[in-house]
Structure 1
Amino acid sequence: MKKYLSILMMICILAGGGSLAGAAQKPDYEKYGRIAIAVVKEDYPGEEVVDYQYGGRKKVTETDVTDTFTFTVKENGKPVTVLVMVTHNLKDNKAVSLTVQRKQQ
């Protein structure tokens, strides 16, 4: 009985550890999100970034994709929506271009 209980406990520990390892992986767009945040903070110095969302990925060419990030910045107390689009190469993980757009409210 103890042998079966020990085996069951070991399976539970291993199964739980595997899901933790998967949860700890960083998303592949994280590097470009950090770049986008830095650009927004540079463009809006001293203003508060109150919201940040990853908008998704679009395939541009066979090797290039564009990740979109949406920020809400409080500029002079009013919310401003800023889109940052980072186009990068999937093979070498280098940024190809970066576009910042302020959306009209």
Structure 2
Amino acid sequence: MKSKGKAILVALLLGLSLAWTSPVADAQPPYAKWGKIAMQQTMKTYPKAKVVDYLHVGRKNKTPTTSEETFKLLLQENNRMWALLVHIEFETKSEKVLKVSFEETS
């Protein structure tokens, strides 16, 4: 009877530890894919700049079939520091990128 109780306790503890390390805790936000694209395109356009900070501004529907994700990146190159808005327009259903545009801000 003692070994059966230990087995139940071990199974219970194992179940709890698996619940704490579930993939839900490691899930990425829904805009992560778009953030990666924003960073990649920024590095292509501003190859000497370093991304100092990153903010997801939000998503908006542009038309019934297209959406836009916007990110604000803080860039630094030598002594110059500036903010850059990155707009990614895409087909909402297929998520095909239509256009990436940049807007420098202060």
TM-score normalised by structure 1 residue count = 0.76
Counterpart-to-counterpart distance in 2, 1:37 and 1:7: 44
Counterpart-to-counterpart distance in 1, 2:100 and 2:27: 25
Q: Which residue of 1 aligns with 2:57?
A: 55
Q: Which residue of 1 aligns with 2:74?
A: 72
Deviation at 1:3, TM superposition (A): 4.9
The structure that has the greater radius of gyration is 2
Q: Which residue of 2 aligns with 1:15?
A: 19
Aligned counterpart for 2:6 among listed residues 2, 6, 10: 2
How many residues align structurally?
A: 102
Counterpart-to-counterpart distance in 1, 2:19 and 2:24: 11
Note the residue ranges of structure 2 that are not aligned, 5 or more in a row: none
Q: Which residue of 2 aligns with 1:89?
A: 91
Partner SS state of residue 37, structure 1:
helix
60-69 vs 94-103, which deviates more? 60-69
RMSD: 2.2
Alignment identity in percent? 30
1:13–1:75 Cα change, 3 Å: closer
Deviation at 1:8, TM superposition (A): 2.6
